[in-house]
Amino acid sequence: MSDTSHEFEAHDFFRSDRFVNDPYPYFDYLREQSPVLREPHHGIVMVTGYAEALEIYNDPVRFSSCMSTTGPFAGCPIPLEEHKNEDISELIEAWRDKTPFHDQLPTMDPPNHTAHRSLLMSLITPRRLKENEDFMWKLADEQIDTFISRGACEFMDAFAQPFAVLVVSDLLGVPPEDRTEFRKHLIRVERESGGAVVGGTDGEVTHGPLIFLYEKFSAYIEDRRRNPRADVLTGLAQATFPDGSVPEPIDVARIAANMFAAGQETTVRLLSYAFQLIGERPEIQQRLRADRSLIPNFVEECLRTEGPVKGDFRLAKMPTSIGGVEIPAGTFLFIANGAANRDSRRFENPAEFQLDRKNARLHVGFGAGRHACPGAPLARAETVVALNRMFDRTSDIRISETVHGPAGARRYSYLPTFILRGLTHISLEFDPVEAG
Ligand code: HEM
């Protein structure tokens, strides 16, 4: 055993902060042994191979999403130990209402997931997405107006956080007069929870933002059912399940809350990484400035190399095998998207950021299968819009040496969670140009 492998095995990926700054050597180490490998601290099966990740994502019959965001770390009430050789589908259902976040879309399985997901998809129509994107271009300019003349900013506070909250607020039709409250509340809660609704190294679970959102959206839905108007919230209030039944206001409120909870921190991290990268790689910045049509693939390559979601859990519902590895029923698997996206069997020279990579978009940064991220078009559009507008309003964007140190000796800090991958802050400097 090499020194490094001993070191990797001694540290617990889920509880220690050893891999927070750079999880990729650890993921590579796991994959080199096997793309499906049980880690020694919790017995969680780490899935670091691309093909294996897709196989699991696409198979809700063998793998349940219950506890997909927490794994065993927020407590697992299901008595899994005694049933390793059985089909535990019914056992999971019997205990489902005791599992963490059981009322949230990411933890649901079919057929309940299918019904609630369809409710969500009825909110993200192509027309609504187009209107939302038009709003993004205007919003990006307004947000940039607040700091551009200073020639420097902490990008998360100044741009990414408010931008991401206000984009989802617009998508869901939050009335303009309430948006300041949403912005203040959701960003404050984010700071207090250290950027993690779940998945800190101590496995904490924060319900604060969800309660705020449940209350707001239940009230909106009840109001619009009583007094329909020509607005997006009335559309939400009138949406039905696929069988035509009318959801309770809280069902709609949960969907809306999911959009904020799942869409806020993730998008902020993607935005911050995109700007970190153009600050670190002036040659890439120059190419993007010269040819804006390269921006969408740049965003895909950001998602592939530094996707904001390190991974999601699944629970084996029956004894099975993946990649030739036996998986007893009741095993937690961690599908490490960040590792699958650097599997050399799928992506050549996977650690290299290649602006022209042909298959960058095949990454699993947004997951895959039935739970694949419904907010992907939003996150992509937000990043494309932000880059374009910042390029329009500046002639050069740099990393602040005062805050992060000189090139070659930068200091960056990353969120201490096993779910999210991303910077805690990013300070930029830029040369503003007069608006044309
Ligand atoms: C870069 C930004 C984003 C990343 C990397 C990301 C990543 C993911 C991933 C990996 C999943 C799958 C989880 C699983 O299979 O267990 C997911 C699900 C989800 N995402 Fe995103 N997401 C992003 C942005 C957004 C946005 C902007 C929204 C909404 C406005 C959103 C809403 C959701 C919802 C509601 C789910 C649950 C879907 C389901 O369970 O059917 N996400 N996301």
Nearest to 205 by CA among 95, 69, 109: 69
pLDDT tens digits along 316-348: 999 999 999 999 999 999 999 999 999 999 999
Q: Which atom of ligand 1 is nearest to the CA of 378?
A: 27
Residue 133: phi, psi to the nearest 5? -65, -40
Tell me: pLDDT of 255 over 60. Answer: yes
pLDDT at 201: 38
What radius of gyration, in Å, describes the C-alpha atoms of the chain? 22
Q: Which atom of ligand 1 is nearest to the CA of 383?
A: 1
Q: What percentage of residues in the chain have a pLDDT greater than 70?
A: 94
Nearest Cα residue to atom 19 of ligand 1: 373
Tell me: pLDDT of 4 over 80. Answer: no
Q: What percentage of residues in the chain have a pLDDT greater than 90?
A: 78
β-bridge pairing 45-47 and 332-335 = parallel
Alpha carbon of 373 to ligand 1 centroid (Å): 4
Domain that holds residue 203: 3-432
pLDDT at 436: 55
Tell me: pLDDT of 434 over 80. Answer: no
CATH number (domain holding residue 399) = 1.10.630.10
Helix axis angle, 282-290 to 376-393, nearest 10°: 90
Alpha carbon of 342 to ligand 1 centroid (Å): 20
**Of 2-16, 80-94, 267-281, 371-385, where does mean pLDDT reach its minimum?**
2-16
Q: Which atom of ligand 1 is nearest to the CA of 307?
A: 5
Tell me: pLDDT of 190 over 60. Answer: no
408: left (phi over 0), alpha (psi -120 to 50) or beta: left
pLDDT tens digits along 384-429: 999 999 999 999 999 999 999 999 999 999 999 999 999 999 999 9
State the chain's mean pLDDT as an integer. Answer: 92
Confidence grade of residue 373 (pLDDT, cut at 50, 70, 90)? very high
Q: Which atom of ligand 1 is nearest to the CA of 120?
A: 35
Alpha carbon of 69 to ligand 1 centroid (Å): 11
Tell me: pLDDT of 199 over 50. Answer: no
Alpha carbon of 371 to ligand 1 centroid (Å): 8
Nearest Cα residue to atom 9 of ligand 1: 366
pLDDT tens digits along 126-163: 999 999 999 999 999 999 999 999 999 999 999 999 99
Which of 125, 252, 266 for a ligand 1 pocket mutation test, highest count of atoms within 8 Å of Cβ?
Answer: 266
Q: Which atom of ligand 1 is nearest to the CA of 370?
A: 41
Number of domains, the chain: 1
Contacting residues for 235 by C-beta, under 8 A, at least 6 apart: 123, 173
Alpha carbon of 214 to ligand 1 centroid (Å): 19
Q: Which residue has the higher pLDDT, 315 or 194?
A: 315
Tell me: pLDDT of 194 over 50. Answer: no
Alpha carbon of 67 to ligand 1 centroid (Å): 15
Alpha carbon of 375 to ligand 1 centroid (Å): 6
pLDDT at 303: 98
Confidence grade of residue 207 (pLDDT, cut at 50, 70, 90)? low
Alpha-carbon distance of 418 to 342, in angstroms, equals 17
- List all residues whose CB is within 6 A of at least one atom of ligand 1: 65, 68, 105-106, 117, 168, 258-259, 262-263, 266-267, 270, 307-309, 312, 337, 365-367, 371, 373-375, 378-379
Q: Look at the pTM and tell me if it is higher than 0.85.
A: yes
Alpha carbon of 196 to ligand 1 centroid (Å): 14
Nearest Cα residue to atom 17 of ligand 1: 373
- What mean pLDDT comes out for the span 273-298? 98
Alpha carbon of 365 to ligand 1 centroid (Å): 9
Alpha carbon of 271 to ligand 1 centroid (Å): 15
Nearest Cα residue to atom 20 of ligand 1: 373
